[in-house]
Amino acid sequence: MTPTLSIIIISYNTREMTLACLASVYAQTKTPFEIILVDNASSDGSADAIAAAYPDVHLIAETTNHGFAPAHDIALPHATAPWLLLLNPDTLVKNGALDTLLAFAEAHPKAGIWGGRTVFGDGTLNPSSCWGQMTLWSTFSRIVGLNRIFRNSEFFNPETYGTWPRDTVRKVDIVVGCLFLMRRADWDALGGFDPVFVMYGEEADLCLRARAKGFHPMVTPDAQIVHYAGASETVRADKMVRLMRAKIELIKRHFRPGTRRLGCALLALWPLSRYVATGVGAALLRRPSLRTKAGNWREIWARRDEWKDGFVQK
């Protein structure tokens, strides 16, 4: 049967989760689909296990870890369907979520990019399925801690939309790549992910470029999956260095020209502000967890030469 949906999965050292994800896709999806899975040189036997359990999956076992965005350039030439669905390997599809998401997209064709609702393994909300765009205000709120003090407020905490529980259909700025649906033709027209974003920021960059072309990404609570999140990330400082690099690059590309320098300068103060705040808290409260956090933030600040210019160096 000709596939309607090309499902792209990029895995790295998540063997058991990837196998469970694949099982859930096959069990919960009626729409004709194909799966193209790029394994980024996993050392946990992922490729062999996937090949043995799911011979119908188009498996591309790489010997180099290309990162998330570049791996899609390896997968996409093998995709044949008119719809692309990006799915993280640390997810579980529930209650026909992929069929529901495709029906939602067909009912809201002008959005151009569609996502759903994610929950953790225990069923509680995982709010990371979508985000608001960074602005000067949201960056300032982050530095001085207003987004934490007033986390329920969309004014002070706009990037996470306050505490909106993702329980309504809504236009959003950014749909996250753990559950990300596009038409193949639109993906090609926009050039897909920019491979400069090796890890983090790739879907934000694509969504913001799409919005500049008139798209308005949307999410629906009816397409719900489990997303465990961060299964292949273990070192907080390394993760945050990558995240800071991506955020700086997004500011350089998507802030208005007159605000980019200020935006980068403000964001660069975030690790320093968190280091000071957690260090003071550790001294006053004598909590080991705060000392650990302070040490992580100190390392991130000390490594600022790795992230202060973004991915594209001056």
Q: Does residue 141 share a domain with residue 128?
A: no
What would the mean pLDDT of 226-248 be, rounded to a whole number?
81
How many C-beta atoms surround the C-beta of residue 151 within 10 A? 12
Does residue 90 form part of some domain? yes
Q: Does residue 197 share a domain with residue 80?
A: yes
Structural domain containing residue 261: 236-306
**Residue 231 in this model has a pLDDT that exceeds 90:** no
Torsion of CA 94, 233, 184, 134, to 10 degrees: 100
Please state, for a pLDDT cut of 70, what percent of the chain lies above it: 97
Q: Does residue 194 share a domain with residue 60?
A: yes
Q: CA 306 → CA 110, 234, 244, 312, distances in Å?
A: 39, 19, 9, 11
Domain boundary pick from 185, 204, 227:
227
Average pLDDT, the chain: 94
Instruction: Give CA–CA dist 264/247, Å, rounded.
Output: 9
Residue 148 — φ and ψ, nearest 5°?
-90, -40
pTM of the predicted structure, to 2 decimals: 0.93
Residue 234 banded pLDDT, cuts 50, 70, 90: very low
Q: Does residue 107 share a domain with residue 206?
A: yes
pLDDT tens digits, 279-306: 999 888 888 888 999 999 999 999 999 9
pLDDT tens digits, 138-187: 999 999 999 999 999 999 999 999 999 999 999 999 999 999 999 999 99
Tokens 């290309």 -> residue: 66
Q: Does residue 146 share a domain with residue 33?
A: no
The region that residue 28 occupies, defined by phi over 0 for left and psi between -120 and 50 for alpha, beta otherwise, is: alpha
Instruction: Give CA–CA dist 255/136, Å, rounded.
Output: 8
C-alpha closest to that of 178 among 11, 290, 309: 11
**Residue 313 in this model has a pLDDT that exceeds 90:** no
Q: Does residue 75 share a domain with residue 187?
A: yes
Instruction: Give CA–CA dist 7/124, Å, rounded.
Output: 25
Does residue 311 form part of some domain? no
What total number of domains does the chain contain?
Answer: 3
CATH number reported for the structural domain that contains residue 40 in this entry: 3.90.550.10
pLDDT tens digits, 249-276: 999 999 999 999 999 999 999 999 999 9
**Residue 230 in this model has a pLDDT that exceeds 80:** no
Q: Does residue 245 share a domain with residue 203?
A: no
Token readout for 104 is 């939602």
Residues 6+ apart with CB under 8 A from 105: 83, 111, 114, 181
Q: Does residue 159 share a domain with residue 45?
A: no
Q: Does residue 115 share a domain with residue 88?
A: yes
Q: Does residue 158 share a domain with residue 257?
A: no
Q: Does residue 115 share a domain with residue 247?
A: no
